Structure 1
Amino acid sequence: MRAFVQIQGTIVAPEEPSEWDPTSPRLWLLFSGLAGARIQGGGVIDGSGSKWWANSCKIDHSMQCKGAPTAMTIDSCRGVRVRNLRLQNAQQMHLTVSRSRDVRLAGVRVEAPEDSPNTDGIHVADSSAVTIQGCRIGTGDDCISISNGSFAVRMKDIECGPGHGISIGSLGQGGSYAAVEGVALDGARISRAQNGVRIKTWQGGAGYVRNVRFANVLVDDVDHPIVIDQFYCDARSPCHNQTSNVRVSNVMFRNITGTARQPEAIRLACSDAVPCSDIVLSDINLLREDGAEVQTICNCAKGFDNGRVRPAADCLRTSPCGGMSPADEAMDKEAAPPVRHTEL
């Protein structure tokens, strides 16, 4: 028999961090090992996160950095469907899908203050064939974040803002290996956000991000609408330059239009040693709110532009960095874990 969960009323987490179960420091509501379950809303999941945020090292720099609970976790599941849930004020992340396959999230609404730290809306990790559709997310971090081990993730009709945008990453922290493939976004409105669509990796990591498509995105009052950042560093002290990185290839940004708050609307900051390759900008139209022109900034990003692209992206063709050697290509293929492909 398939499990059916109806969430009504308001489920409220303990307000005081000291009241939390020390044996479960990173979890609150956990759905684990389910097959074909249906979880639907009508009510509210409230993480009571304000005191957790006050104790965050990103708010109080004297505090030690440590994790906080995720409001809702779907772990080691398959065939799960989640509809019309509302989550708010999570201690840290709001909804995580991990180690799962064939999960569909529809009509999920997430709300947290713009200054709440690490409050990602929907986070996907070590999962495949995940669909996120018709969701409205505004938080203090990424609206949607897609991390290591994620394959065939489809997003459609997403409303994002405020927050840090829709992101793949961060990947490769601490020299780790990461693999993400087959991510597609078709239709989003991103407003009052730091970024629009973004890929972020740490120096020193390994692995790959490939076969990614961000399409049909309207940005409104966004700092940097299009970002690839292979120099990501979310640390108290500066990150040291390193030669290795997670390889980024075959990424398309198509039909992305709207307004940017910063002059550098498109930032393609790729590694000198591991350049980005096959980056495509197609039908892009970005301006400042006052109508002023913006810029495309490239470092070691190789690819081409197609159709009307504003601001111009000539730097995609003139990058001076070298490409992948045949030996590197062979090593990259051998290191890649097996992937089950799903139609996007």
Structure 2
Amino acid sequence: MVGPLKFEGPCTAPVTLKVQGTLKAPSDPKRLRDDWVAFRNVEGLTVSGGGIFDGQGAIAWWSVDNCAKTGKCNSLPTNLQFTKLTNSKIEGITSLNSKLFHMNILNCDNVTFQDIVINAPKNSLNTDGIHIGRSTMVNITGEP
């Protein structure tokens, strides 16, 4: 059980985070108001290790904010937020059962997402895969 986590710069030296095993978000809606895991303002970030980020959306969250009925899902947290990253690589990780979007990429430049797995059951709510906004040179690939 982990969260919320914020990795925030400014960082101008390379930073590497290896995630191995499964990190689980809080299942209690009162314990998580913003995005669950956020990376902000880092140059040269590498996230790897084969780890799983399990948002546990089905436990309490999807029943609390049933956007399929209300049409409003904006109050739910995103599993992984990447904001203002440059020259970075995110590889070999899994986002599972996000409460809302799995990954939100904003104001990033020259970032590669490689061998990313996004998994949500068919009865999940608005668990879109990857949202990209105001970014340049974002590459998403399944090939090494």
Q: TM-score, normalised by structure 2?
A: 0.82
Per-residue CA deviations over 1:222-242 (Å, capped at 9, x if unaligned) read xxxxxxxxxxxxxxxxxxxxx
Alpha carbons of structure 1 residues 66 and 95: separation in structure 2 relative to 1, 3 Å = closer
Match of 2:88 in 1: 80
Alignment of 1:116-127 (within 5 A): 116-127=124-135
Q: Relative contact order, CA 8 A, sep 6+: which one is greater?
A: 2
Match of 2:19 in 1: 7
Aligned 8 A contact 2:49 2:93 in 1: yes
Gaps of 5+ in 2: 1-12
Secondary structure of the residue aligned to 1:76 is strand
Match of 2:65 among 56, 72, 89: 56
Per-residue CA deviations over 1:24-72 (Å, capped at 9, x if unaligned) read x3311011111011111312100011122112243444x9654211111
Secondary structure of the residue aligned to 1:117 is coil
Secondary structure of the residue aligned to 1:49 is coil
Offset of 1:116 from its aligned partner? 1.0
Per-residue CA deviations over 1:194-214 (Å, capped at 9, x if unaligned) read xxxxxxxxxxxxxxxxxxxxx
Secondary structure of the residue aligned to 2:61 is helix
Per-residue CA deviations over 1:230-269 (Å, capped at 9, x if unaligned) read xxxxxxxxxxxxxxxxxxxxxxxxxxxxxxxxxxxxxxxx
Aligned 8 A contact 2:16 2:45 in 1: yes
Aligned 8 A contact 1:28 1:70 in 2: yes
Q: What is the total number of aligned residue pairs between the two structures?
A: 130
Paired letter, 1:80 = S
Paired letter, 2:50 = G
- The worse-fitting range, judged by mean Cα deviation, of 116-125 and 102-111 is 116-125
Which is higher, the Rg of structure 1 or of structure 2?
A: 1
Aligned 8 A contact 1:54 1:60 in 2: no
Match of 2:10 in 1: none
Paired letter, 1:117 = L
RMSD over equivalenced CA pairs, Å: 1.8
**In the alignment, structure 1 residue 93 sits paired with structure 2 residue 101:** yes
Q: TM-score, normalised by structure 1?
A: 0.36
Secondary structure of the residue aligned to 2:86 is coil
Paired letter, 1:2 = P
**In the alignment, structure 1 residue 112 sits paired with structure 2 residue 120:** yes
**In the alignment, structure 1 residue 19 sits paired with structure 2 residue 31:** yes
Alignment of 1:49-198 (within 5 A): 49-50=57-58, 51-61=60-70, 66-134=74-142
Secondary structure of the residue aligned to 2:79 is strand
Query: 2:31, 2:81 → 1: CA distance?
Result: 20
Gaps of 5+ in 1: 135-156, 158-344
Alignment of 1:212-223 (within 5 A): none
Identity %: 28
Query: 1:82, 1:65 → 2: CA distance?
Result: 26
Match of 1:39 among 39, 47, 61: 47
Query: 2:15, 2:118 → 1: CA distance?
Result: 24
Offset of 1:99 from its aligned partner? 0.8
Aligned 8 A contact 1:41 1:86 in 2: no
